[in-house]
Amino acid sequence: MELDDFVPLVLYDNQCYLCVKFAKFVNFLARGRLRIVGHYTDLGKKLREDILDSSALEMFWYVDRKTAYGGRAGLLPLMSAIIRANGSTGDLNIQESCDLDCKTTKAVFLRSASLLTNSKKIKIK
């Protein structure tokens, strides 16, 4: 897969209510200039197989040409990318598909806590 065609991008859990809200917020801040990809989409599965490891589903990822930043490690590079992003990725369709358990207070708390506790960087070859 030629990654340069897709980066910079944000990879998020498109089956989690809170993660979908996070992706929509990122898209709003970036004004559609970053590619937002769900973990469970075809492209998301391909990205997880090609560049990420087994911890990929535990957090969101910000991916640029050289590095994939997961969770807490991705917050600063993501903010920087939002500020300096240019161009447009076209129409964005953030799909919401979650069951009732993902909207509970406990689920929201656990997902929010995982954002701050999980952190990883992976160099892209």
Q: What is the pLDDT of residues 19-69, one digit of tens each?
A: 888 899 999 999 888 999 999 999 999 999 989 988 888 899 999 989 999
What does pLDDT average to over the chain? 83
Residues in Cβ contact with 9 at an 8 Å cutoff, skipping those fewer than 6 apart: 34, 35, 36, 37, 47, 62, 63
Cα dihedral across residues 38, 100, 71, 88: positive or negative: positive
| Predicted pLDDT at 16 | 82
Pick from 121, 124, 110: which is nearest to 13 by CA? 110
How far does the chain reach from its first CA to its final CA, in angstroms? 12
Q: Which pLDDT value is given to residue 94?
A: 63
d(CA 43, CA 104): 29
CA angle 124, 66, 10 (to 5 degrees): 90
pLDDT computed for residue 120 by the predictor: 92
What crossing angle do the helices spanning 17-30 and 105-117 adopt, rounded to 10°? 60
* Stronger pLDDT, 6 or 100, i.e. the higher one: 6
The per-residue pLDDT for 18 is 83
Residue 105, φ and ψ in degrees, nearest 5: -60, -40
Which domain range does residue 58 map to?
3-123
Q: Does the pLDDT value for residue 99 go beyond 60?
A: no
**Number of structural domains, the chain?**
1
